[in-house]
């Protein structure tokens, strides 16, 4: 129970604290533009300055307990694809307007695996669990920018869907690849046989919850609760994709491939946890860039994120962690 309280306090509590600070202090003293800039800088510092340290540390000391784990990044791509494809199907079946459909797509495809998933895995399984989440997510982040962004733009225009890759976002923001490079550095140090200093493990144990808390705070101080009731149908559909369809499909696929037999089932549990994450903050970026329904994306983020209050205890009970 203490572990559940800790995860929820860090992940959701930080969002609530940030929102409260904005409502009762910042709104009266600081311009929205300055708050937005501070929030962006805080996110960048957390994700691309602090977060690489525990990523490197986790892979530096990681032991590949089974050759089947080499497929873990591919399963990450499958997981992300399931969410995206399910969203495209939902858009067609329910004839959702293109501007809204694009937000349904990004919300269905983009999941909060690195922060909420990483923290959950770390608290339940330690630094090895955190490393497995990073391994699972290794190819997902590039996939968001190479595939997710351009497809969301197509959907928003009501265009006939066609698969394409785009390196434009990564060329413009090369720092987005820092997490992937951090994984490679950790693996290189591991393979080179360099001993990981004990201080790295201690620092990582502090930084993992700190990064999650800072990201939650940065989101909270810029959070404006939109007219969620306007998007009831879409939010219900997105929630079903995030918390029912994707985890059910991935749990089945992983079971059929025997992932539950590897390392006493820990990778299987990590996979199910990762597949049941709420909408990622990254899902709010394409609407801002391509001018589709940002209010829907924001509302979906809020609802699915706070639904984690229910989802996390369910995962705890179902997986027996």
pLDDT tens digits for the chain (321 residues)? 677 788 788 888 888 888 888 777 665 667 777 877 888 788 888 888 998 998 898 888 877 767 778 889 999 999 999 999 999 999 999 999 999 999 999 999 999 998 889 889 988 998 888 889 988 988 887 888 788 888 998 899 886 666 656 666 667 778 777 887 888 899 899 889 899 998 988 898 899 889 888 888 887 887 777 668 889 999 999 999 999 999 999 999 999 989 999 888 999 999 999 999 999 888 877 887 787 888 898 889 889 988 988 998 998 888 877
Q: Is position 206 within any domain? A: no
Q: Is position 24 within any domain? A: no
Tokens of 303: 């609802």
- Using alpha carbons only, what angle is made at residue 28 by residues 27 and 30, rounded to the nearest 5 degrees? 70
Task: Give 199's strand partners.
Answer: none
Task: Give how far Cα 266 sits from Cα of 134, 139, 191, 262, Å.
Answer: 14, 20, 23, 7
Phi–psi pair at 279, nearest 5 degrees: -60, 140
Of 90, 85, 242, nearest to 148 by C-alpha is 85
Of 306, 266, 269, 301, nearest to 282 by C-alpha is 301
Q: Is position 143 within any domain? A: yes
Pairwise CA distance, residues 213 & 119, whole Å: 10
pLDDT tens-digit series, residues 122-173:
889 988 888 899 889 888 878 887 888 889 988 998 866 666 566 666 677 7
Q: Is position 208 within any domain? A: no
The model carries a pTM of 0.80
Q: Can you give the pLDDT at residue 29?
A: 67
Pairwise CA distance, residues 26 & 15, whole Å: 15
Q: Is position 25 within any domain? A: no
Q: Is position 134 within any domain? A: yes
Q: What is the CA radius of gyration of the chain?
A: 19
Q: Is position 110 within any domain? A: yes
Tokens of 189: 């140090």
Q: Can you give the pLDDT at residue 168?
A: 65
Of 312, 260, 300, 313, nearest to 117 by C-alpha is 312
Q: Can you give the pLDDT at residue 139?
A: 85
Q: Can you give the pLDDT at residue 169?
A: 61
Count of structural domains, the chain: 1
Q: Can you give the pLDDT at residue 2?
A: 75
Pairwise CA distance, residues 286 & 155, whole Å: 11
- Residue 238 belongs to a domain with what CATH number? 1.20.1530
Q: Can you give the pLDDT at residue 314?
A: 92
Q: Can you give the pLDDT at residue 138?
A: 83
89 contacts: CB under 8 Å, gap ≥ 6: none
Task: Show the domain range for 84.
Answer: 37-201+227-314
pLDDT tens-digit series, residues 106-121:
999 999 998 889 889 9
């Amino acid at each position: 129970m203490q572990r559940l309280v800790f995860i929820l306090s860090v992940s959701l509590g930080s969002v609530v604290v940030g929102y409260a600070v904005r409502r009762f202090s910042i709104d009266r003293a600081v311009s929205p533009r300055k708050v937005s800039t501070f929030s962006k800088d805080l996110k960048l510092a957390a994700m691309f300055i602090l977060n690489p340290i525990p990523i490197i540390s986790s892979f530096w000391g990681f032991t590949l307990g089974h050759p089947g784990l080499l497929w873990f990044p591919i399963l990450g791509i499958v997981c992300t694809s399931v969410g995206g494809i399910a969203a495209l199907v939902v858009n067609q079946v329910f004839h959702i307007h293109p501007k809204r459909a694009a937000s349904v797509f990004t919300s269905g495809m983009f999941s909060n695996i690195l922060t909420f998933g990483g923290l959950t895995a770390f608290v339940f399984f330690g630094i090895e669990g955190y490393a497995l989440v990073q391994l699972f997510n290794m190819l997902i982040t590039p996939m968001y920018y190479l595939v997710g962004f351009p497809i969301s733009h197509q959907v928003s225009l009501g265009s006939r869907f066609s698969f394409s890759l785009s390196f434009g976002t990564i060329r413009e923001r090369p720092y987005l690849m820092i997490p992937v490079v951090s994984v490679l550095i950790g693996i290189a140090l591991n393979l080179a046989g360099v001993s990981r200093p004990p201080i790295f493990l201690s620092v990582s144990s502090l930084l993992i919850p700190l990064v999650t808390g800072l990201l939650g705070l940065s989101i909270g101080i810029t959070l404006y609760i939109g007219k969620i009731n306007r998007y009831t149908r879409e939010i219900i559909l997105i929630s079903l994709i995030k918390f029912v369809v994707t985890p059910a499909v991935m749990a089945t696929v992983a079971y059929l491939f025997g992932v539950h037999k590897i390392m006493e089932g820990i990778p299987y549990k990590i996979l199910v946890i990762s597949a049941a994450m709420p909408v990622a903050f990254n899902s709010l970026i394409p609407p801002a860039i391509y001018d589709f329904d940002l209010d829907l994306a924001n509302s979906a983020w809020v609802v699915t994120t706070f639904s984690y209050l229910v989802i996390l205890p369910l995962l705890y009970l179902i997986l027996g962690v």
